[in-house]
């Protein structure tokens, strides 16, 4: 039998597990702040070069921190369903697209400029809270740290509980290129529910990068995943229905983002903070994570200068309860998603929707959103949670 010997190496002030969006962004923010100049930071990920593994989109008012890296900006979005079909100007917001390779490269450039940051490419086996810090075990080594930030996926935490609803935002996307000008690249299709719903919440998400190139993502908010071929068949049918027949598929992407109100903050402890999707930074009702990660990493950096106990980082807000009710409705009446979103987009302004989803809304704006959705299911879900 082959025995692997594990050796203990140096202790770090901070260990960051995962060099994806949240881990890398946290490391980058620390590297740009002189407070961390005398701290040792170790980043561990199983793979460093991930290329364009993600296409992130987010809305933002005016100029933003990542604007220099953007692939595309849209001033308008389209919402479509059986009962509503409208193109909406989203000013003062803009819908922005950033591709992950440009983002990762830019952050690495900042991190690599600091000699107190190191990276190790390794698969993490486990991590444990100790009395005075943490221990991380990889296939070959053990690392000690004072504080740990974990962004490694932790599906066992939310899959094994039944208290909070869990659905998935799952999708497959095709970047297609046409020979002639076909796309209106001033409009991003946010949600097009004109696709057959088959008892679920299914929509097409279309991001035209120029008049000949667009990303088509067939997306579901539902409990169970489909066979890979089903997503691709749906994209093909959608393209056919739009009479887009002469195209080349230049790239593909797929994803599965958990949508859950599970209390990720319960996993945190004095020395361990879960970040990114693993820390509940994914908005439970939408799957959007990128902008929240950008905000939260700033908050973590500020927190580290004042506080020592990472279990006190997360604060409860009203939005957790809103998301919980919303997900209860979507999980229990999955075939009603199209009607629910249509009603919201019909009755509430896009600015109010964005502010509400950004968790920046006033009580009046909250009320506008609450009154914009069909009341029956929400009242049922509300009282069920209350009692």
* Interface ranges with ligand FAD (CB under 6 A): 18-23, 44-47, 54-58, 123-124, 151-153, 253, 255, 257, 276-278, 288-290
In the complex, least distance from residue 147 CB atom to ligand FAD, rounded to whole angstroms: 17
| Closer residue to ligand FAD (CB): 73 or 370 | 73
Written as one string, the DSSP assignment of 80-112 is E-SS-EEEEE-TTEEEEEEEHHHHHHHHHHHHH
Phi and psi dihedrals of 18, rounded to 5?
100, 125
CB nearer to ligand FAD: give 81 or 100.
100
CA distance 171 to 245: 22
Nearest residue (CB) to ligand FAD, 66 versus 378? 66
Q: Which is nearer to ligand FAD, 185 or 336 (by Cβ)?
A: 185
For 284, half-sphere exposure in the C-beta direction (CA atoms, 13 angstrom radius) is: 24
DSSP track, 269-299 = -SSEEE-GGGGT-S-TTT---HHHHHHHHHH
User: How far apart are CB 56 and ligand FAD at their closest, in Å?
Assistant: 4
DSSP 292-358: HHHHHHHHHHHHHHH-S-GGG-----HHHHHHHHHHHHHHHSGGGHHHHHHHHHHHS-HHHHHHHHT
CB 386 → ligand FAD: shortest distance, Å?
A: 31
Closest distance of CB 97 from ligand FAD, Å: 8
Q: How far is the CB of 150 from ligand FAD (least distance, A)?
A: 9
CB of 55 to ligand FAD, least distance (A): 6
Token couple for 31: 């590297």
Which DSSP symbol is given to 65?
T
Nearest by Cα to 290 from 43, 103, 110, 90: 103
Instruction: Tell the burial category of 240 from Cβ atoms under 10 Å away from its Cβ (0-12, 13-18, 19+).
Output: exposed
Greatest pairwise CA separation for the chain in angstroms: 67
- As to burial, measured by CB atoms within 10 angstroms (0-12 exposed, 13-18 middle, 19+ buried), residue 236 is middle
Q: Between residues 31 and 343, which has the closer beta carbon with respect to ligand FAD?
A: 31
Nearer to ligand FAD by Cβ, of 94 and 151: the residue is 151
Q: Which is nearer to ligand FAD, 20 or 133 (CB)?
A: 20
Give min distance, CB of 83 to ligand FAD, in A.
26
Q: Which residue is nearest to ligand FAD (CB)?
A: 20
- Least distance (Å) from ligand FAD to the CB of residue 139? 9
Task: Give the Cα separation of 207 and 97 in Å (integer).
Answer: 9
Q: Kind and range of the H or E element at 219? A: strand 213-222
Q: Positive or negative, the Cα torsion across 100, 289, 277, 137?
A: positive
Beta pairing class for 201-210 and 213-222: antiparallel
Name which of 54 and 377 has its Cβ closer to ligand FAD: 54
Q: Supply the minimum distance, in Å, between the C-beta of residue 286 and ligand FAD.
A: 8
Q: Which is nearer to ligand FAD, 31 or 151 (CB)?
A: 151
Is 206:189 a contact under the CB 8 Å cutoff?
Answer: yes
């Amino acid at each position: 039998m082959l025995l692997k010997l594990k050796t203990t190496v140096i202790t770090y002030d901070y260990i960051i597990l995962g060099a994806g969006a949240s881990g890398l962004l946290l490391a980058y923010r620390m590297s740009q702040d002189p407070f961390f100049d005398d701290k040792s930071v170790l980043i561990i990920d199983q793979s460093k070069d991930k290329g364009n593994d993600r296409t992130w989109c987010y809305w933002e008012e005016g100029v933003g921190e990542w604007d220099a890296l953007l692939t595309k900006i849209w001033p308008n979005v389209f919402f479509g369903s059986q009962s509503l079909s409208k193109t909406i100007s989203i000013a003062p917001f803009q819908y922005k697209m950033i591709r992950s390779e440009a983002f990762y490269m830019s952050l690495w450039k900042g991190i690599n400029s600091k000699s107190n940051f190191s990276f190790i490419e390794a698969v993490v086996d486990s991590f444990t809270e100790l009395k005075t810090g943490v221990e991380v075990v990889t296939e070959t080594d053990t690392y000690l740290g004072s504080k740990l930030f974990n962004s490694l996926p932790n599906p066992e935490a939310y899959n094994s509980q039944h208290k909070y609803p869990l659905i998935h935002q799952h999708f497959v996307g095709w970047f297609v290129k046409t020979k002639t000008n076909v796309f209106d690249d001033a409009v991003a299709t946010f949600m097009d529910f004109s696709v057959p719903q088959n008892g679920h919440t299914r929509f097409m998400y279309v991001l035209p990068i120029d008049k000949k190139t667009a990303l088509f993502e067939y997306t579901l908010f539902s409990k169970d995943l489909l066979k890979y071929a089903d997503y691709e068949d749906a994209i093909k049918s959608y393209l056919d229905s739009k009479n887009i027949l002469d195209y080349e598929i230049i790239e593909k992407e797929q994803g599965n983002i958990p949508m859950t109100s599970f209390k990720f903050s319960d996993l945190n402890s004095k020395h361990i903070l879960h970040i990114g999707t693993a820390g509940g930074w994914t908005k439970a009702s939408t799957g959007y994570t990128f902008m929240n990660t950008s905000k939260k990493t700033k908050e973590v950096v500020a927190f580290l200068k004042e506080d020592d106990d990472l279990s006190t980082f997360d604060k409860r807000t009203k939005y957790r309860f809103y998301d919980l009710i919303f997900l209860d409705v979507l999980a229990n009446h999955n075939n009603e998603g199209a009607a629910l979103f249509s009603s919201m987009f019909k009755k509430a302004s896009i600015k109010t929707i964005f502010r509400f989803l950004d968790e920046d809304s006033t009580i009046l704006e909250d009320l506008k959103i609450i009154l914009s959705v069909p009341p029956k299911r929400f009242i049922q879900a509300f009282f069920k949670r209350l009692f």
